[in-house]
Chain A
Amino acid sequence: MSKPSDLVQGTLDMLVLKILALEPLNGWAIGLRLKQISSDVLAVSDGSLYPALHKLEQRGWITAEWKSSEKNRRAKFYSLTRLGRKQLEKETSNWNRVSAAISGIVKLNEA
């Protein structure tokens, strides 16, 4: 499985969970939201996004449902599950710890 080389390993999962925590979205919208939020810094190729979504669904963190989108097009909408919310909390606190440590180290180097 190819992993987004431009993202810290495992962060894509967290970002997707975070986005879905706000509202259920389909794959295309999730990709769009990722680019918007990160101001195009985190460009995630669609090739990485969909396998990640399927993996998250398989693990029970998100669940999928076929619904009609605005233009009356049927699309698969993903939403966060209870398990996913727990996972998001875990990963967020983990991320905060790690990023705090890393930025601490980076600052140390500057000084």
Chain B
Amino acid sequence: MKFEEWLHAWPLRLRALLRPHEVDQELRDELQGHLEQQIDENLASGMSPEEARYAAMRAMGGIAQIEQQCRDARGRSVVDEFVQDLRYGFRQLRRSPGFSALAVLCLTLAIGANAAVFSWVEGILFRPYPAVAHQERLLALAGTARGESEATELSWPDFLDLRRSCTLCDEVFVSKITGTTLSNGDHAETATGSIVSANYFDAIGVRPMLGRGFEPDEDVGSDAHPVVVISYQLWRNRFKSDPQVIGKVQRLNNLPHTIVGVAPQGFYGTFVGWAMQFWVPASMEENFESGGYKLENRGARWVEGYVRLKPGVTRAQAQQEISAIAARLESSYPGTNRGRGIRLWRLWETPFNDASDLLPILKIMLAVVLFVLLIACANVGNLLLVRSFARRHEMTVRLAIGATRGRLLQQLVTEGLILSGIGTAGGLLVAYLCRHALVLMEPARSGATMYLPGEIDWRVLTMSAAICLLVTLIVGLIPAFQTRKLDLSGTLKADSPALAGAREKTWLRSGLVVVQVCLSFILLAGAALLLKSLQTIRNTSPGFLTTSVVQTRVSLVAAGYDVPRARAFQDELIDRLKALPGVESAAFARVTPLDYIAYSSTPIAVDGYDTPTDEQPTVEYNQVGPDYFATLGIPLLSGREFTRADDENAPLVVIVNRTMAERYWGDQDPIGRRLQVKGRWARVVGVAADSKYESMRESSRPFFYVPLRQDFTRQPVLNIRTNRSLDNISAALLRQLHELDANLALYEMITLQEQVNRSTSPQLVAVTLVSILGGMALLLASVGLYGVMSYAVAQSTRELGLRMALGANAANLFQLVVSRGLRLTTIGVLLGTVAGLALTRLMGTLLYHVSPHDPLAFGLALAVMTVIAMAACLLPAWRATRTHPAEVLRD
């Protein structure tokens, strides 16, 4: 049909499709009209009414036939054919429910895995902040320092200057994750919140559901604006959805705060991985952060930011402008900004939240689910091949009575579409059910709400539709290979399988099995590598004791303790604990290792160490109480531990770690030397062994300790070294606590081993996900292998019978079948090894001290694959040995 004609025809066809009854009615009316006109004519020529009627009908012929001919003349549209194929396809699938269920299950799982990972990528990396406007123009903002690979935070004055000077950004805003205690009986719970710039809610386009956001001047001053916006969850759970909550007062740390707003439902803040429960303006920073008033201190880097670009501005253009601003700041304030830059990151590369942990995992997952999808397609393709053999006769008949090969192909692809369509619908359901699965894999933390949602939006739906199309083509075209070879007369005449055809089919099916084995071997090897890596991390000594040390916090701040009272309380509690049987020692520290709470950091100067002019060394430190090193089991290499004598009145002292001693004092003994901390000189009294501070994967770095009394915080972590069980020591501690003050509450108590486990949770998530999908792939591949082997046995009964008749025994036949299965497995494993060695290198950052070519991991994968392959061959092989030569040869 020519284009012009098509242009004319499609409205008619569309109408026939949408209003078939109307079109039919018109056709009947038209023919009826003809008939009546003929009758009139006949009446006019003098016939009786009866005669006129019969004559007219005779002249016309069969009306039903004419109607049908007219319909045929109009032609059948592609859509009509499609609907017809669809009906036929559904009938076919209903006829073999076992096959259909298996195929749909394979595809549902595989497409579901894909859709779930897409939805995580969308919900965690691309559109991580529900309810926040224009996330496509949002970029993360953080600092850089010369000589440091990791991003740093920003200082408040730098942020203000940047916001003033940035012309390419619509909005610049900052936030800082923080926590507070909301006690509930004798349990204290952490609530996670954000300290934000006053423009926060306006900048992200979130309007509080009740009350207001922050006024422009509320981030100015010191403790000047004690106002808080609470989350919908907090409002529901703690304030029982009180509509009068605005204006009520809630104590947060030291100060009562007025509730000015309730955030809308579905808004969780702007920190990937965590659901925020409250927001306070930056002017309240001292109440939540250690280290004093920072809003006028350019050297105090503590906030993390975001910018929203103006429409049409690229990241590179904005970066250029921001770099220029950072360079101006560097030359204006060399004392604090020497070697400092400011950088923009894409949201999914955000350096300061859980996105950076999850990015490499999700990248690997994208590859893994694609593999699973291909394996499932191969499997379903294999099933369809078997069926296409069974339907060979049907296809041949259809060809013989005039169907074109194109028409048959259309039918096969339509059947593929039915399978993949159902699979995609099921897969989206799976993805929806799995949207919070990532959080489940993370270890639970009391009080803090992890939030890692999958997001099923139009982009995820589009990707799923693309996957569906891909699957349709693959599974539809595999059996089409067969129809291509159909030989009309041959197949119609003889109903027995043609030997040549059978061999070709076997070749194709074997190829598909090899692909499945190859892909699942790669996944197995990957899972084994990740498992070994996790094992290595968990077996790496963090440099402190893990199993015999527990840690918790006491809610002194919420109970309104001031500094002198807190000091006295801490000493008293330590004394009481040490008197308990089974407690070796106990010590406070501001930060527990591997926690998400940041260490304090300070620019340093060292006596006798010439700092390069373009470098401002900054080192992190922890505030620890007496006996800290003994309690955590961190060896002191020289010097002494802090004691009660190192208090606020004593000379300032520090203990440095080994790496710091070597970097700044070299071969000399640092004991007795001076170190400048926050502008004040302190004397080194000890050198401690290196340990892990923020992450199990970090390499050794400079770090030091100051006495807690000389840089005090009222709510430090309590570490207890004990041989008593967690519940036991927890109850004992609570008793001691309530003897001192019945109003105090205790935070969740965990061992340091649990702390290590929590900090390695991204690795655990990766291992869990890859293992689940690897297992799925293995199952699919073994089903495929089993299918091919049993088919091969069923096809070659004649040959097997002949062999038996010629003297082969059962063991020979068994071996024959198994060795054939192993041959396929071996080819698959060989290909898998080659591809795997190339691909596992991409896992890079996920592997900790494990070579991507680790022979043990590949060996393990080989062993599992071989065992599973053997198992898949056993039943077919056993069936082969049951061949009765006489029966077979007689047939």
Contact = CB atoms under 8 A, between A and B. Distances in A.
Interface string B1-12: 100110111001
Contact of A46 (B4, B7, B34, B36): B34
A31 B60 CA distance: 11
Given A46-B59, A54-B70, A55-B74, A60 B65 contact: no
Contacts of A81: 8
B495 interface: no
A19 B1 CA distance: 24
Contacts of A55: 73-74
A59 B29 CA distance: 22
B40 interface: yes
Contacts of B75: 58
Contact of A75 (B5, B30, B72): B30
Assign chain B's interface to a size class. 20 to 34
Interface in B75-122: 75
B30 A27 contact: yes
B446 interface: no
Contacts of A60: 4-5, 7-9
A46 B60 contact: yes
Given A71-B40, A76-B30, A83-B4, A52 B61 contact: no
Contact of B70 (A51, A59, A71, A73): A51
Interface string A25-55: 0111001000000000000011100111011
A47 B30 contact: no
Contacts, number: 78
Nearest to B12: A58
Contacts of B33: 26-28, 73-76
A34 B36 CA distance: 19
Interface string B614-646: 000000000000000000000000000000000
A59 B61 contact: no
**B interface, by DSSP: helix, strand, loop or mixed?**
helix
A57 interface: yes
A88 to B, nearest CB: 15
A2 to B, nearest CB: 7
A1 interface: yes
B61 A47 contact: yes
Contacts of B38: 28
Given A28-B33, A46-B59, A58 B40 contact: no
Nearest to B69: A51
Contacts of A59: 1, 5, 8-9
B66 interface: yes
B26 interface: yes
Contact of A58 (B31, B62, B69, B73): B73
B693 to A, nearest CB: 79
Contacts of A57: 12, 74
Interface string A55-94: 1011110000010010101111000010100000000000
A13 to B, nearest CB: 11
Given A27-B30, A46-B66, A51-B73, A58 B61 contact: no
- Find the residue from B8, B26, B60 having the highest chain A CB count within 10 A: B8
A71 B223 CA distance: 95
Contacts of B61: 45-47
Nearest to B31: A50
Contacts of B66: 46-47, 50-51
Contacts of B70: 50-51, 54
A84 to B, nearest CB: 10
A60 B6 CA distance: 8
B42 to A, nearest CB: 12
A49 B59 CA distance: 12
Interface in B1-50: 1, 4-5, 7-9, 12, 26, 29-31, 33-34, 36-38, 40
Interface residues of A, number: 27
B5 A76 contact: no
B69 A2 contact: yes
Contacts of B5: 59-60, 83
A47 B60 contact: yes
A54 B73 contact: yes
Nearest to B59: A46
B27 to A, nearest CB: 8
A83 B29 CA distance: 27
Nearest to A87: B5
A2 B37 CA distance: 24
Given A46-B59, A83-B4, A28 B73 contact: no
Contacts of A1: 69, 72-73
B2 to A, nearest CB: 9
B708 to A, nearest CB: 90
Contact of B9 (A31, A58, A74): A58
Contacts of A28: 33-34, 37-38
Given A2-B69, A60-B8, A54 B26 contact: no
Contact of A76 (B4, B12, B26, B72): B26
Contacts of B74: 54-55, 57-58
Contacts of A69: 37
B8 A47 contact: no
Contacts of A83: 4-5, 8
Contacts of B7: 60
Nearest to A81: B8
A82 to B, nearest CB: 9
A74 B4 CA distance: 30
A12 to B, nearest CB: 12
A66 to B, nearest CB: 8
Nearest to B71: A54
A74 B8 contact: no
Contacts of A31: 34
Contacts of A66: 26
Contacts of A58: 9, 12, 73-75
B449 to A, nearest CB: 64
Nearest to B33: A75
Nearest to B7: A60
B709 to A, nearest CB: 95
A68 B699 CA distance: 93
Contacts of A71: 40
Given A1-B72, A28-B38, A75-B30, 17 more contacts: A1-B69, A27-B34, A46-B59, A46-B66, A47-B66, A50-B66, A51-B66, A51-B69, A52-B73, A59-B1, A59-B9, A60-B5, A60-B9, A73-B36, A73-B37, A75-B33, A76-B33
The 5 closest A-B pairs by CB, nearest first: A60-B8, A55-B73, A51-B69, A51-B73, A47-B61
Interface of B: 1, 4-5, 7-9, 12, 26, 29-31, 33-34, 36-38, 40, 59-62, 65-66, 69-70, 72-75
Interface of A: 1-2, 26-28, 31, 45-47, 50-52, 54-55, 57-60, 66, 69, 71, 73-76, 81, 83
16 contacts: A26-B33, A26-B34, A47-B62, A50-B34, A51-B69, A51-B70, A54-B73, A57-B12, A58-B73, A58-B75, A59-B9, A60-B7, A73-B36, A73-B37, A75-B30, A83-B4
